[in-house]
Amino acid sequence: MRKRLPEFQSIIQVYAVIAMMFAGWTITAFLWKLSAWLLLLNLGEIFIIFSYAMVASFLESMIILLLLLIVCILLPARVLRDEFVVRGTILSVGLIGSLMVFVGSQMQFGIERGLLLLIAPFLVLILTAFLLQRASKLHRIRSVAVSFSDRAVVFLFVLVPLFAIASMYVILRNVS
């Protein structure tokens, strides 16, 4: 089983990209609503909301990483495992990016647009598939993906303690 998984450092690099995107999205949404919450809620309630949001972000990022690792186990090594940093970064940015585009277009245009909401995420997924196909041939795509994932690891020094503190707070709050 260990032979089917990529190296630990590669997993950490891809997780850093995933966690950075989800945490950035969560913190942006939180800060967007903070000014209204300061008028309605006290600081303790705001901290509770932030803790639950960060735990949800942590769980979402772990789910995406586990999905990538399951795909890595199921597919041949040359498809994903051998170039896990490059392909995992492109896949995670594409999948999370298409989700962000969908939510953004839904917020802007509303749900009544129906299938028109799916055009922008579909275009992001097509771009992701194009980059995945070209990643083995174009050195520039590889170097950008590796560089991005290398630099995203720095954010784990902040995000992992933040996720841990928020998770412990949520667990203790629900147990007692």
More confident residue, 11 or 138: 11
Residue 18 · residue 96 · CB < 8 Å: yes
Residue 132: its pLDDT value, please?
81
More confident residue, 131 or 165: 165
**Above 90 in pLDDT, residue 52?**
yes
Inter-residue long-range contacts of 34-42, CB under 8 Å, 24+ positions, other chains counted: none
Confidence class for position 1, pLDDT limits 50, 70, 90:
low
> Residue 142: CB partners within 8 Å, gap ≥ 6?
83, 86, 135, 136
Instruction: Say which DSSP state 148 is in.
Output: H
- What are the boundaries of each domain within the chain? 7-175
Average pLDDT value for residue range 15-29: 96
| Residue pLDDT, tens place only, 93-151 | 999 999 998 888 888 777 776 777 788 888 888 988 888 888 777 888 889 999 999 99
Residue 35: its pLDDT value, please?
93
Percent of the chain, pLDDT > 70? 98
Residue 67 · residue 11 · CB < 8 Å: no
Residue 16: its pLDDT value, please?
97
